[in-house]
Amino acid sequence: MNWIALVAAGIFEIGWPLGLKMAQSGEGNKVGWILLAIVSMAISGSLLFYAQKAIPIGTAYAVWTGLGAVGTLLVGITFFGDSASVFRLLSAVLIVVGIVGLKVF
């Protein structure tokens, strides 16, 4: 259950940079996007807090930030036209390999 909470925390970690980006874009309700960012931060932090009860802090933090970073990278590529160069994608794969390594070893 703690690992599920940690993965969910990593997914919610994507919500706050997305909310801030959308608030800057001028599309839609700026306050709504900022609220999405704040709520995502709160949920993400709460789930990380829960997960750390059974998962070592270094592992939990690396997984949390890694999922958030790779997820945000993919959102940027998919929805905002960010570069999808081979080296950026390879770097993201290395982050995922590191996360898997922390879980396995």
Q: What is the CA radius of gyration of the chain?
A: 15
Q: How far apart are CA 55 and CA 73, in angstroms?
A: 25
Average of pLDDT values for 87-103?
A: 93
pLDDT at residue 7, rounded to an integer: 96
Determine what percent of the chain is predicted with pLDDT higher than 70.
100
pLDDT at residue 60, rounded to an integer: 95
Which SS3 state, helix, strand or coil, does residue 45 take?
Answer: helix
Residue 69 pLDDT level (bands cut at 50, 70, 90)? very high
What are the boundaries of each domain within the chain?
2-104
| Residues 25-62 pLDDT 10s | 877 799 999 999 999 999 999 999 999 999 999 999 99
Would the pTM count as exceeding 0.75? yes
